[in-house]
Amino acid sequence: MTEIILKLEDSRRLTGPNLFSAEAGAIIDISCANIDPETVLTHWNRQVRLLLDGLGWAAEKTYSRVYSGGISLVVSAPIDALYAATEVNEAAWQLTMEEILTPAENHSTSVDIEKLQQLIHDESNPPLLALQKAAMEHNICFLSDDDEASIGYGKTCQIFPVKQIPPVNSIDWGSIECIPVALVTGTNGKSTTVRLASAVAKAADLAAGITSTDYIRVGDQILDTGDYSGPGGARTLLRHPNTQIAFLEVARGGMLRRGIGVNKASSVLITNVAEDHLGEYGINTLNDMVAAKFIVRQAISLQQGLILNADDTGCVSFAKSLENKIVWFSWSLNNPVIQAYIQAGGDVCYVDAGIIYSHRGGITVEVIAVKDIPITLSAAAKHNTHNALAVTALCLTMGIDVKHIRQGLSGFASTPENNPGRGNVFEFNGITAIVDFAHNEHGLNSMVETISNMPATRRLILISQAGDRSDELIKGLVASSMKAKPDALVVCELASYLRGRELNEVPRLIRQKALDMGMEKEKIMLSDSPFQGVEKALEWAQSGDVLLILALTHREEIIDLLSEKVNSQAIAK
């Protein structure tokens, strides 16, 4: 007889809008095999409902999602009882497993309702719930975490310790405001987009706050460095008194693990969706990933701007089921979605004859020539044309004038200072080196297209990958690289990102795929690290060559090395 396998893989809180609903709650991810998932759901729904009714939580909702190899089980809960909610969910799961796996006469698991009630009581915080309710009634932004709760964003934000929240009738609600906030997500282009948008805001004399995978920044001040693309970074930025407008990079992992950290925004942008990080949190297919990215829409109303990529088939397909007001962008006026939206009186941004245009309210306005936007590298970097289009649509939706958009786009160069690791160009001794963070096939395709559009005597690509990517995804990177017909390939080990692989396993896989695709073995160089790989690339390079450096690690050291080359040439002159 085939053994039924049921295992709880993860149990966690969902502190904000998430893949399942706009409500906070608790989720467990379980792996299962050799059993119909519907059978599991039937048992779990019965057990969790009994517990919720017995605890006085009859109004709370349940959600579920079946995916290959597993099921996610969710219970909604008040924000002041999320830890207790995880205990309730786990208790229901224990009862479910026993009911499925053990004959009825041998059932022994029991749930201590009084203990669960005590957990709920101990965590209970009526003033916190009252503040949340009052903020909603006054249409004021509300944020909370384990330590603090706040109302409003920016200079009028008021922050309270969660255990010292004042009576809501003592708060001067009329003095509290919410600044414009945009959420930016997608597989590629997020960091560049929020930084480019902040340059537009600066042109409009606004102190823009941004969160990204590199830092939190308000105006020109970096508050902290590190990956702040999750809920914590968003809260820190929006509570800062100097923030006048905010562009938040929102990562897939944070949304799936905790939900969105911000439940009230002005606009949302999805740059694109591609296959990356599949297999985490039950997101196993491209369609799964599309749904995960669209979690951000729950932070805006149906009437606010949802900015979408009309050249991305996943976005276009998913949008058909939505009732949101959508603003589409595309690198071609002839895109059928753009054409249909113009005919229907919708808002769009597009490129026609090398010019970015905005069409809003039936009026078409010329914004800027693509070649006048430095990050497009004279239109060679098509993906950055997309990013400029997205920023144009986003900033118009947020009320920024076209003249400031034009000024911001034309004044932003993708330097290591402005946009570290994203299309940074270094020119020295006739050599052009581009440093980029492209780490998936979608992103690499864009960079390969860029260097293919640039004049070059020879082309070199430096490539590596973390060990947690599948063999197929790694081979896909190599296939993408080969589209540039490189004259040399530098394959690097990422010793700190083996993630279960053997040392040099990934470089061997990359090298073999390149050989299988016809690359001559003498044109492939192996390196122990990206930094060492750059040194080898520089030894190989001659005047007229273009080097694409995919710097997944050692980015600062690589940038410093290339900057020294540029400075040395300048001194020599």
How do residues 267-290 score in pLDDT, each as one tens digit? 999 998 876 666 677 888 888 888
The pLDDT value recorded for residue 570 is: 62
The pLDDT value given to residue 513? 94
Please check whether residue 308 lies inside any domain of the structure: yes
CATH number assigned to the domain comprising residue 468: 3.90.190.20
**How confident is residue 122, by pLDDT bands cut at 50, 70 and 90?**
very high
Are 79 and 164 in the same domain?
no
In a domain, 417, yes or no: no
Digit-coded pLDDT (tens) for 524-537: 999 999 999 999 99
**Alpha carbon of residue 551 to chain centroid:** 19
* Mean per-residue pLDDT, 295-316: 93
The model's pLDDT over 22-34, given as tens digits with 9 standing for 90+, comes to: 999 999 999 999 8
Q: What residue type is assigned to position 291 of the chain?
A: A
Q: What is the mean pLDDT of residues 404-420?
A: 90
In this structure, the dihedral spanned by the alpha carbons of residues 548, 527, 558 and 383, taken in order and rounded to 10 degrees, is 30
Q: What is the pLDDT of residues 3-23, one digit of tens each?
A: 888 999 999 999 999 999 999
As a whole number, mean pLDDT of residues 489-510 equals: 92
Considering the domain boundaries, does residue 416 fall inside one?
no
On whether residue 374 sits in a domain, the answer given is yes
Residue 419 lies in a domain: no
What band does 573 get if pLDDT is binned at 50, 70 and 90? low
Quick one: pLDDT band at residue 158, thresholds 50, 70, 90?
very high
Q: Is residue 418 part of a domain?
A: no
Same domain? 349 vs 444: no
79 and 103: one domain?
yes
324 vs 188: which has the higher pLDDT: 324
Is the predicted pLDDT of residue 106 greater than 70, yes or no?
Answer: no
Same domain, 80 and 130: no
CATH code of the domain covering residue 221: 3.40.1190.10
Residue 568, pLDDT above cutoff 80:
no
- What total of structural domains would you count in the chain? 4
Q: Are residues 483 and 535 in the same domain?
A: yes
Q: Do residue 86 and residue 203 come from a single domain?
A: no
Q: Quick check: is 80 in a domain?
A: yes
Model confidence at 368: pLDDT above 70 = yes
Q: Are residues 334 and 317 in the same domain?
A: yes
Q: Whole-number mean pLDDT of the chain?
A: 92
Of 411, 435, 454, the residue that ends a domain is 411
Residue where one domain finishes, among candidates 411, 443, 461: 411
Given a contact cutoff of 8 angstroms between Cβ atoms, the answer to whether 266 and 398 are in contact is yes
Give the pLDDT mean for 39-67. 95
Q: What is the pLDDT of residues 539-559, one digit of tens each?
A: 999 999 999 999 888 888 999
Domain that holds residue 157: 126-175
Given this model, what pLDDT does residue 1 score?
58
Q: How far is CA 153 from the centre of its chain?
A: 22
Q: For the chain, give the number of residues.
A: 573
- Residue 450: name the closest of 558, 529, 376 by CA: 376
How many C-beta neighbours within 10 Å does residue 260 have? 28
Structure tokens at 371: 């070649």
Contact 32, 6 (CB under 8 A): yes
| Residue range 386-411: mean pLDDT, rounded | 97
